[in-house]
Amino acid sequence: MRCDVVAVGTELLLGQIVDTNSSWLGEQLSLAGIDSHLQVKVGDNQARIVRALRSALEDADAVIVCGGLGPTHDDITRESIAEVMGAPLELRDDIAQRIESMFTARGRRMPANNLRQAEVPRGAEPIDQRRGTAPGLICPVGDKVVYAVPGVPYEMTEMYERAILPDLLRRAGSAATIRSRVLRTWGESESGLNERLQGVIERLEHEGNPTLAFLASGWEGIKVRLTAKAGTADGAASLLDRWEREVRDQVGDVVFGTDAETMESVVLGMLKDRGLTLGIAESVTGGLVAGRLTNVPGASAVLRGCVVSYASEVKFDVLGVERGPVVTEQAARQMAAGARRVLGADVGLALTGVAGPESQDGVEPGTLCVGIAMPDGTETSSTVRLPGTRDVMRQLSVISALDALRRRIEAGT
Amino acid sequence: MRCDVVAVGTELLLGQIVDTNSSWLGEQLSLAGIDSHLQVKVGDNQARIVRALRSALEDADAVIVCGGLGPTHDDITRESIAEVMGAPLELRDDIAQRIESMFTARGRRMPANNLRQAEVPRGAEPIDQRRGTAPGLICPVGDKVVYAVPGVPYEMTEMYERAILPDLLRRAGSAATIRSRVLRTWGESESGLNERLQGVIERLEHEGNPTLAFLASGWEGIKVRLTAKAGTADGAASLLDRWEREVRDQVGDVVFGTDAETMESVVLGMLKDRGLTLGIAESVTGGLVAGRLTNVPGASAVLRGCVVSYASEVKFDVLGVERGPVVTEQAARQMAAGARRVLGADVGLALTGVAGPESQDGVEPGTLCVGIAMPDGTETSSTVRLPGTRDVMRQLSVISALDALRRRIEAGT
């Protein structure tokens, strides 16, 4: 089964918007075992959309078209598909009424333009709109099919999962349910993970299901993704459970979370479970650690606050660090203790380092010292060397420091 | 002149990497007055790359191929172009020696694989590699042309600007120099800018050069881009100077910077020029303001630090805010004064607000109070209502608060 993608919109060609839809679809299709060999961006021009669709249908069994379903005159995906089908557009009363009622519910009058969104090529089936005003379309072309979805990612992804993927799997004659699980890791290279998982990988290759893939995700670490196929969702889940255990048996120490969990949500959750509050002192990262933690809804139950001690005097005067060099493990421990005390927190986490481009007090760019102060007053510290430009080094510092805290909490309070 | 783009790489189709190269190229081409009507992603498969190139050459005058120039067996862009040209690949000694010397300079031995990067289809011209090991290629196909560049953005952009754009303009018979300038704005909607610039836009449309475009950039504000064409770089620059003045005459109050300037670099520059230091107190943004300021190299000359007072007690105990509701203009002013005092800064900037999803103390999500304390002890405050989800509201708060500080400093210290 091969399903290509056509993204429609002149703004994509002009680089005003980056086409992330086809990347997302490519990943989802490959998870489902469907090839996507060609992905095309084309402008709001009917002749060129029609040509791109015809060309894609020559090689692929299915084509997903994203975008061009809006109400304005340059939204011409419906017309283009109708031309490829050789079918007229027909106004569907039921769709028109639903769109009108969406406007009414918001106390607004529906502009006449929006009626265009109720047009469906004869022989096509609409896909209910749940998040926007534009319905999607399932359009048979001979024994092949063109799917149309809105270009808004939030509307597109929902329609893909609800209507398109099941239809594709049905056409592929596959009754399989596909589920994947991501184990998020930090602290081991891709080749290191590969080596430690060699035995698991060989057994998986032998069995063929689930499959295992590494996804390097920069300063978010490396993801290990298991994808299982089974007759039922429960069957897939139990396969994933079993192989997740196998993977954790080998590399459990570097797995910090699964699926949508992030390092910050995991650390906040661990502290919350233990009834502990957190205070932070940051220098090199300048507020990024606190900024990321506070992006998690509910962070206020754990995080008391943060002192960004960018100037050395703030470290001395506010946090009580001894005067002297400030990129040292001792300074990091004293900053952590200061954060606990000043912010009235149970646990203190501190970062001091050099992001560059220049060295500071003889300390090279890329150096990060992390200090942790625990409720019983014990203070620990560590030093890591991080690569990258200023921005990359700072981002790597954030996740490195949070991972150090995660390990410290796991080691026992 | 039409130049289409083919991005090569199976990882692009699988969604492991988002293709930002063709978006960047699309923007650059349109700035140069060159159409790009079709942009294609294709995997590492010679038959499909050849087919994509042939199909693009049917309609376009030129095609830029990104990626597939590496040293490994799945890098087959060279072979694919040679097939399209009907020409053999020839090993170029001069290129081989240059690649080998790059390895020698790093004290490493060149793997034999890398010799592949010294192969050039007969009749093609290499483009010197300055940033990586892979040279680019200029490959005539009849009276059309295929350009090949590495997929690494940093290598690709340099080759485009140095070798491809001049070659394209020469082929287009254009001796023009194209320059653009971006005026960065905050605080006015796109339709508001459009209305205020109506007279300028009409005159520009009449004259045809420079052109003016609005680029909505989310929480970075709206960019107004002027693009001028002239016989010389000086001629283009003087056209841009003249029309920048015309634009500023109408909307100068919302222009905060030009080209690569950001709100944070502008605010830091204004403070530095006046010999003032800054202290911050953040609540709703949780460290994001300090995090962005400290991403500017040299921020330490201005920024003393920041107190992220996420818990109300930190506002009361550390910053000296009066006990009571904490999302008020009074609390914002007291936080700003507290930041000045605690951090030993000349100027204090404070943010308190509700990001949501829930209301807090009866204050609705989207509410932001900004407080500013100046060196003479005067304190001012303002309240804005911001749209969006939690993350968007927080990012909009960062730029809104920095813009308030920018305006306050301009109004006179």
CB atoms within 10 A of CB A143: 7
Instruction: Give per-residue pLDDT as tens, B348-378.
Output: 999 999 998 889 889 999 999 999 999 999 9
B233 vs B143: which has the higher pLDDT: B143
Closest-CA distance, A48 to chain B, in angstroms, reads 8
Distance CA B214, CA B84 (A): 40
Nearest to A70 by CA among A11, A12, A122, A136: A136
Closest CA in chain A for residue B280: A308
B217 vs A253: which has the higher pLDDT: A253
Instruction: Give per-residue pLDDT as tens, A177-199.
Output: 778 899 999 998 888 899 999 99
A265 — pLDDT class (breaks 50, 70, 90)? very high
Of A308, A313, A357, the CB nearest to B287: A308
A102 — pLDDT class (breaks 50, 70, 90)? confident
Helix axis angle, B233-251 relative to B198-207, nearest 10°?
160
The top-scoring range by mean pLDDT among A152-166, A267-281, B226-240 is A267-281
pLDDT of residue A413 exceeding 60: no
Nearest to A326 by CA among A269, A272, A392, A371: A371
The pLDDT value recorded for residue A389 is 85
pLDDT of residue A174 exceeding 80: no
Closest-CA distance, A10 to chain B, in angstroms, reads 8
- pTM across the whole model: 0.83
pLDDT of residue B72 exceeding 90: no
Instruction: Give per-residue pLDDT as tens, B78-100.
Output: 999 999 999 999 999 999 999 89
Closest CA in chain A for residue B34: A14
Of A25, A311, A343, the CB nearest to B304: A311
3-state DSSP assignment of residue B262: coil
Instruction: Give per-residue pLDDT as tens, B119-141.
Output: 999 999 999 988 778 899 999 99
pLDDT of residue A332 exceeding 90: yes
Closest-CA distance, B91 to chain A, in angstroms, reads 31
The pLDDT value recorded for residue B413 is 56
The pLDDT value recorded for residue B309 is 97
Nearest to A351 by CA among A391, A272, A404: A404
**Chain B residues 90-129 within an 8 A CB cutoff of chain A:** none
Architecture of the structural domain at B274-410: Alpha-Beta Complex (3.90)
Of B48, B291, B305, the CB nearest to A311: B305
Phi then psi for A135, rounded to 5 degrees? -75, 155
**Chain A residues 32-51 within an 8 A CB cutoff of chain B:** 36-43, 45, 48
Instruction: Give per-residue pLDDT as tens, B279-334.
Output: 999 999 999 999 999 999 999 999 999 999 999 999 999 999 999 999 999 999 99
A173 vs B313: which has the higher pLDDT: B313
Strand partners, A137: A126, A148
Q: How many distinct helices (H) and strands (E) make up chain B?
A: 15, 17
The pLDDT value recorded for residue A357 is 86
Topology annotation, domain A3-171: Molybdenum Cofactor Biosythetic Enzyme; Chain A (3.40.980)
pLDDT of residue B176 exceeding 80: no
pLDDT of residue B185 exceeding 90: yes
> What are the extents of the domains in chain B?
3-171, 177-258, 274-410
B175 — pLDDT class (breaks 50, 70, 90)? low
Q: For residue A353, give both structure tokens.
A: 């380092």
**Average pLDDT over every residue of A340-344:** 98
Best mutation target, A57, A294, A302, to test chain B (most B CBs within 10 A): A294
The top-scoring range by mean pLDDT among A230-234, B102-106, B376-380 is B376-380
Percent of chain B with pLDDT over 90: 78
Q: DSSP secondary structure string, B16-74?
A: SS---HHHHHHHHHHHTT-B--EEEEE-S-HHHHHHHHHHHHHH-SEEEEES--SSSTT
Distance CA B309, CA B334 (A): 12
3-state DSSP assignment of residue B101: helix
Instruction: Give per-residue pLDDT as tens, A191-226.
Output: 889 999 999 999 999 998 999 988 877 788 999 999
pLDDT of residue A47 exceeding 60: yes
Closest-CA distance, A148 to chain B, in angstroms, reads 19
Of A13, A285, A288, the CB nearest to B36: A13
Percent of chain A with pLDDT over 90: 78
The pLDDT value recorded for residue A175 is 67
pLDDT of residue A81 exceeding 60: yes
Q: For residue A32, give both structure tokens.
A: 């489902």
A74's CB contacts (< 8 A; 6+ apart) are A10, A44, A68
Residue A12 and residue A41 in contact, taking contact as beta carbons nearer than 8 Å: yes
The pLDDT mean for chain B works out to 93
Reported ipTM: 0.82
As a CATH number, domain B177-258 is 3.30.70.2860
